[in-house]
Amino acid sequence: MAIQKKRMSMSKSIFVKFFGKIKCIGQEKAFSLAKSLSTGNSKSFFVQQTSNILYNILYNI
């Protein structure tokens, strides 16, 4: 005989969906920031290029 699956309450299902969306938004923001840092288009972080600094020190430019 088949047993009916227990139904999830409305508040719990809303919470699970909302929590999943929050995680997804955080992941999208992190990926976007990493992408902008790697391409050099970041407006919120200033990253020094170590290779350029070493080149300038070695060749006194």
Along the 61 residues of the chain, how does pLDDT read in single tens digits? 677 777 888 888 888 888 888 888 888 888 888 888 777 777 776 666 556 666 666 676 5
Q: Which residues contact 43 (CB under 8 A, 6 or more apart)?
A: 36
5 inside domain:
no
Instruction: Quote the DSSP letter at residue 7.
Output: P
43 inside domain:
yes
The structure's pTM equals 0.45
Contact 42, 36 (CB under 8 A): yes
45 inside domain:
yes
- Token pair of 16, please? 């699970």
Domain that holds residue 34: 11-59
3 inside domain:
no
**Rounded distance, CA 36 to CA 32, Å?**
6
Task: Quote the number of domains for the chain.
Answer: 1
- The CA distances from residue 4 to 1, 16, 42, in Å, are 10, 22, 53
6 inside domain:
no
